[in-house]
Amino acid sequence: MSPETNQARHDRDSVARSALALLDEVGLADLSMRRIAARLDVQPSALYWHFTSKQELLAELADRITASIPRGSDGVLATARGIRDALFTHRDGAELVLSTYALQLGSSHAQSVLTAALEAHGAPDAADRGAAILHFVLGHATLVQQRMHADSHGALPTAGEIDVTAGLDRVFDLGVTALAGVLSAPATPPRARA
């Protein structure tokens, strides 16, 4: 089969969906254009009809992972938890989003959602705080995913003996709260008295 024949069967969306499914199966380290092409039964060069580079494809995957982060949630901590939860929806999701964020690829949906939550709570330096919190969330989620992955392969000294993520939710909440600082509650209209 020639790439021209197979290229018509797939579009940008189907390539990205297949790449996300493969990410869940093999992880980021083994996610290659060759492997994605084999999954789609095309030559690797056919993928470049839809994505100019692997980095562009990874940026698309990062955007898809972060697209599920809800806007207008109930505060900064809830927003940060929503980002973390989105990163955990795919194997190595945190590492993938971190790497594309570091290279300034893809959208900045996660940071804009955090900035909006901070602005709603009166943070004067919402953009800078949003960036700081996002850096913390990405690093923390990457640590958790790596620890879980290592534990699943018996690579930790305490593998199987304890929950390797015990206490990390509390650490996460403390970190986000510390970076958010003291924020005022969002303005709400006064309630009518009965």
pLDDT in tens, 146-157: 888 888 778 777
| DSSP at 28 | G
Q: How many CB atoms lie within 10 A of CB 159?
A: 13
Q: Residue 33 belongs to what domain range? A: 1-51
**To which residue do tokens 């989003």 refer?**
97
Assess whether 124 and 41 both reside in one domain.
no
Residue 160: its pLDDT value, please?
56
* Residues 115-144 pLDDT 10s: 999 999 888 899 999 999 999 999 999 999
Domain identity same for 79 and 165: yes
Residues 63 and 153 in one domain: yes
121 shares a domain with 147: yes
pLDDT of residue 89: 95
Q: Establish if 171 belongs to a structural domain.
A: yes
One domain for residues 86 and 172: yes
Residues 83 and 167 in one domain: yes
Beta carbons within 10 angstroms of residue 6's beta carbon: 16
Query: What per-residue confidence (pLDDT) applies to 7?
Result: 44
Please check whether residue 143 lies inside any domain of the structure: yes
Is residue 70 located within the same domain as residue 45?
A: no
**Residue 24 maps to a domain:** yes
Torsion angles phi and psi, residue 108, rounded to 5:
-115, 40
Q: What is the dihedral of CA 127, 132, 133, 137, to 10 degrees?
A: 130
Written as one string, the DSSP assignment of 94-127 is: HHHHHHHHHTT-S--HHHHHHHHHHHHTT-TTHH
Residues 40 and 101 in one domain: no
- How many domains does the chain divide into? 2
> Residue 167 has what pLDDT?
82
What confidence category does residue 193 fall into, taking pLDDT thresholds of 50, 70 and 90?
very low
Same domain, 78 and 36: no
Query: What's the Cα-to-Cα distance from 57 to each of 11, 61, 64, rounded to whole Å?
Result: 12, 6, 11
Considering only residues 167 and 64, tell me which one the structure prediction assigns the higher pLDDT. Answer: 64
Given a cut of 50, is residue 164 above it in pLDDT? Answer: yes
**C-alpha atoms less than 13 angstroms from C-alpha of 65 in its C-beta half-sphere:** 31
Average pLDDT over residues 8-26: 92
pTM for the model stands at 0.82
98 touches 83 (CB < 8 A): no
Residue 74 has pLDDT above 60, yes or no: yes
**By C-alpha distance, which of 87, 95, 96 is closest to 57?**
96
Are residue 69 and residue 36 in the same domain, yes or no? no
pLDDT at 93: 96
**Which tokens in the block code for residue 148?**
């879980």
Coil, helix or strand at residue 14: helix
- 192, part of any domain: no
Percent of the chain topping pLDDT 90: 68
**75 plus 96 within the same structural domain:** yes
CA-wise closest residue to 143 among 123, 114, 115, 164: 164
- By the 8 A CB rule, do 124 and 189 touch? no
Q: How many helices (H) and strands (E) does the chain have?
A: 10, 0
Residue 114 inside a domain? The answer is yes
Task: Say what the pLDDT of residue 9 is.
Answer: 73
- Residue 45 and residue 125 in one domain: no
The enclosing domain of 13 has a CATH number of 1.10.10
pLDDT(113) > 50: yes
